[in-house]
Amino acid sequence: MLESFALALALAVATPAASSEANLKRIVADYVGLYRRDALPQWRALFLPSFTVASTNADGSVRLRNLDEFYTAQERYLASGRAIEEKLENVAIERRGRLASVWADFVLTDQGETSRGKLCLSLIEEKGSWRIQSLVFAYDDAN
């Protein structure tokens, strides 16, 4: 009987963590999976309202934007009608409690032309749901 209780307790403790882990992986998949013109409003919901993004420029400077600025730029970009796709490679997720970071190589294809770079997402778990707080990225040719 004691063994059954211990097993039930272990499952009860492990299930929320496993569910949280699956939700974290889902957010990372949705970051690129929802990056489409028809799904852009759902894509925006992945980010906290206080989201910030920083990216490097070829001249060595850094460009900083808030969620509205970043989202508007993505809306314009995807509204162009060009064939645009982003994929992540070499994804590494590190979770520490309710905080997580994601490092990945990204591959952006625009009308058949490919650009590569690196990105890092910072995420936080809020009431059982993961949200993206920040993004930093650099294209390989801007380094």
What is the residue extent of each domain of the chain? 2-142
Q: What is 2-142's CATH number? A: 3.10.450.50
pTM of the model: 0.83
Residue 128 has phi, psi (to 5 degrees) of 85, -5
Rounded average pLDDT over 84-96: 96
Beta bridge partners of 132: 47, 123
pLDDT in tens, 98-142: 999 999 999 999 999 999 999 999 999 998 899 999 999 999 985
Residue 130 burial class via C-beta count within 10 angstroms: exposed 0-12, middle 13-18, buried 19 and up = buried
End-to-end CA separation in angstroms for the chain: 61
Residue 34 has phi, psi (to 5 degrees) of -95, 0
pLDDT in tens, 3-42: 544 444 444 444 456 778 899 999 999 999 999 999 999 9
Cα separation of 94 and 37, whole Å?
29
